[in-house]
Amino acid sequence: MLKIYNTLTKQKEEFKPINPGKIGMYTCGPTVYDFIHIGNIRAYTTPDVLRRYLEYQGFEVRHIKNITDVGHLTQDDIDQGDTGEDKIERKALAEKKTPEEIARFYEDAFREVEKEMNILPAQYFPRATAHVPQMIQMIERLIEKGYAYEKNGNVFFDVTKFPEYGKLSGNTLEKLKVGARLEEHPDKRNPWDFALWLKAPKEHLMKWDSPWSVGYPGWHIECSAMSTEYLGDTLDIHTGGEDNIFPHHEAEIAQSECATGQKFSNYWIHTRHLLVDGEKMSKSKGNFYTLADIKKKGFSPMALRLAILSAHYRSQMNFTWNALYQAQANLDSINNFYNRIINYAPSESDKFSNLTVADFVKNFREALDDDLNTPLALSVILELVNHGNKLMDEGLMGNPAEVKKTLETFAKILGLRLEGIVVPQEIIDLAEERKEARTGKDFQKSDELRNKIDEMGYIIEDLKDNNYLIKKK
């Protein structure tokens, strides 16, 4: 039974879906004005592992991830004191392109990175610009119900009308009065109110007609409108990075719950930040790495994925190249083992011994059941690799097919793409011949056979007791 930490209740809870067998999950996606960095990748890896684990247990997961293609503020900007220039427009002007061209380019780049990182594509990636009518409808409902007000073509949410404001982040009105940083605007009734719709200045490129003004939506409304559109009033799971908790997710709850009268999301799951030298990795600070940077240094996307999984999603992770070296080494040993087990033909002696996979499956599941403890789940995989290698070295592996399948299942749940090769029988025969030569201490013949295998595109690595591992060059 999966227990997951819920930011809303501040405790680990047993996961129970609203509808048996089906799960609706929403993830706040990227603002598409630049390449995503590996901190963003970390935030998208958590829901991916969660989804994969739930699917493994037989749930049908409907996953929605929005594309923010109208460039509102983010927490980064507030932290940097930015007053809210539309980032997509800024980039468009700088590159002499249209905002659409910028958004599509970086959306494609984002999708490509997710693919390389083996992050399952969401069933749908709704774009904010295609859902302005739904946002307008929700804002109209909020005005009708008295939760929002219009002034000079701008519409704001009145947080004093929602007594539960602050229930996710702890930033209740009492606390806010003492001092959180706020978006300033002369038309606001209360300084902590937030924008639902803003009248566009003349030079603004992206603007839409609305009952209040020709303008553009506020920072938070797109997620409320699009999640309701594709998943209904109440979501099972909502995910994001920890910087999304306030004000973004707090505002989503306020808008959605006031508009629908229903609870917005049962579980809130937040990935803590990826840090560089103790500071949050972020676009605005310029201290970030992209997947391209990682690949340039010779690491594979799967090594990055393994490095990310080596830290629990709820602990801050400090990015170091050393951690990537370690991850690449672990990945290589998993892949080598996979290669070996794919091609392992049990001998007579092997048939008397099996590796008990049930213990590993139990430990693996227990690790993920405990708030997606991926570092522990990875250690179970590495234990399986060590144990399995030892049994093969000793000629005591009677069930390679079962072990292979177990490893494949674990890898699928964690989203690790395994790279195994099926070695042609011809090469195996040569390797066996070489083993015999080595056993008979005929090292000249052994070297000749090694060269022959090498010429045919394979490398033979010697293990204990004249055993060997064949790899592709």
Residues that bind ligand AMP (CB under 6 A): 28, 30-31, 39-40, 42-43, 74, 76, 240-241, 243-244, 271, 273-274, 280-282
Asked if residues 77 and 91 have their Cβ atoms less than 8 Å apart, the reply is: no
d(CA 23, CA 442): 62
Nearest to Zn ion of 28, 245 (CB atom): 28
Size of the site for Zn ion (CB under 5 A): 2
Whether the Cβ atoms of residue 142 and residue 129 lie closer than 8 Å to each other: no
Residue nearer to Zn ion on the CB measure, 223 or 291: 223
Give the nearest distance from C-beta 415 to ligand AMP in angstroms: 17
Residue 324 · residue 294 · CB < 8 Å: yes
Task: Please state the closest distance from residue 290 (CB atom) to ligand AMP, in A.
Answer: 12
CA distance 393 to 454: 23
Pull the structure tokens for residue 373: 């403890």
When asked if residue 28 is in the footprint of Zn ion (CB under 5 A), the reply is yes
DSSP string over 336-378: HHHHHHHT----TGGGG----HHHHHHHHHHHHHBT--HHHHH
Using rule CB under 5 A, residue 70 touches Zn ion: no
Give which of Zn ion, ligand AMP, none residue 31 binds (C-beta under 5 to 8 Å, depending on kind): ligand AMP
Task: Between 224 and 399, name the residue whose CB sits nearer to ligand AMP.
Answer: 224
CB-wise, 125 or 468, nearer to Zn ion?
125
Return the number of the residue (243 or 350) whose C-beta is nearest ligand AMP: 243
Pick from Zn ion, ligand AMP, none: which does 63 bind, CB < 5 to 8 A by kind? none
CB of 86 to ligand AMP, least distance (A): 14
- What minimum distance in Å lies between the beta carbon of 217 and ligand AMP? 15
Rule CB under 5 A: choose which of 223, 235, 237, 372 binds Zn ion: 223
- Min separation Cβ 123 and Zn ion, Å: 17
Residue 276 CB, nearest approach to ligand AMP (Å): 8
- 343 vs 346: CA distance, rounded Å: 10
Q: Which residues pair with 63 in a beta bridge?
A: 25
Residue nearer to ligand AMP on the CB measure, 313 or 458: 313
Give yes or no for residue 324 binding Zn ion (CB under 5 A). no
Kindly tell me which of 42 and 340 has the beta carbon lying closer to ligand AMP. Answer: 42
Residue 60 to residue 38: CA distance in whole angstroms: 28
Q: Comparing C-alpha atoms, which of 59, 99, 294 is closest to residue 208?
A: 99
For residue 42, the partner it binds in ligand AMP, Zn ion, none, with Cβ less than 5 to 8 A by kind, is ligand AMP
User: How many angstroms separate the CA atoms of 37 and 241, rounded?
Assistant: 13
For tokens 């819920």, the residue is 6
Which segment (185-193, 217-225, 346-354, 376-384) binds Zn ion by CB under 5 A? 217-225
Q: Candidates 7-15, 24-32, 103-111, 414-422: pick the segment binding Zn ion (CB under 5 A).
A: 24-32
Q: How many Å from the N-terminal Cα to the C-terminal Cα in the chain?
A: 43
The one segment of 25-33, 143-151, 175-183, 206-214 that binds Zn ion by CB under 5 A: 25-33
DSSP 249-264: IHHHHHHHHHHHSS--
CB-based contact 274:307 (threshold 8 Å):
no
**450-459: long-range contacts, CB 8 A cutoff, minimum separation 24:** 453/427, 456/426, 456/427, 456/430, 458/423, 458/427
State in angstroms the smallest separation of the CB of 252 from ligand AMP. Answer: 12
From the CB of 258, what's the least distance to Zn ion, in Å? 17
Pick between residue 26 and residue 212 the one whose CB is nearest to ligand AMP: 26
For residue 151, the number of C-alpha atoms closer than 13 Å in the C-beta half-sphere is 14
CB of 180 to ligand AMP, least distance (A): 18
* C-beta neighbour count of 225 within 10 angstroms: 26
Q: Which does 223 bind (CB under 5 to 8 A by kind): ligand AMP, Zn ion, none?
A: Zn ion
* Beta carbon nearer to ligand AMP, 147 or 194: 194
Binding site for Zn ion (CB under 5 A): 28, 223
